[in-house]
Amino acid sequence: MIKENEPCGKEVRVMCSLSIQVPEEVLLCINTTEQDLSAYTSKLLAMNLYEQHRISLGYGAQIAGMPEEDFIYELGRAGISIFSFASKEEMASEFTNA
């Protein structure tokens, strides 16, 4: 179990579970199951937290329940870049030095 004083970035050893209430009619209207909606909301949460720079790719993949490569693919499909540069100059420098 992760101790309170340990910094973020360590390997996740224990996952917590969150619960939301959704009317059954909604599942029927959108023609989905509880499991599919759960997977979808987990992926959206992970992508949103990643886009806000609050979690790493690794944590995002863990929350989304998929390998990092698949998470990167899903980010791309959503138009979320995995590259973050403070300026065009920084980006140019990174590509020049690559």
Torsion angle in degrees (nearest 10) through CA of 20, 16, 73, 44: 20
User: pLDDT, tens digit, for every residue of 38-58?
Assistant: 999 999 999 999 999 999 999
d(CA 58, CA 65): 10
Instruction: Check residue 49 and give its pLDDT.
Output: 97
d(CA 24, CA 21): 9
Percentage of the chain modeled with pLDDT above 70: 86
Q: Structure pTM?
A: 0.75
User: pLDDT, tens digit, for every residue of 58-74?
Assistant: 999 999 999 999 999 99
Please provide the distance, in angstroms rounded to a whole number, between the alpha carbons at the two ends of the chain: 38
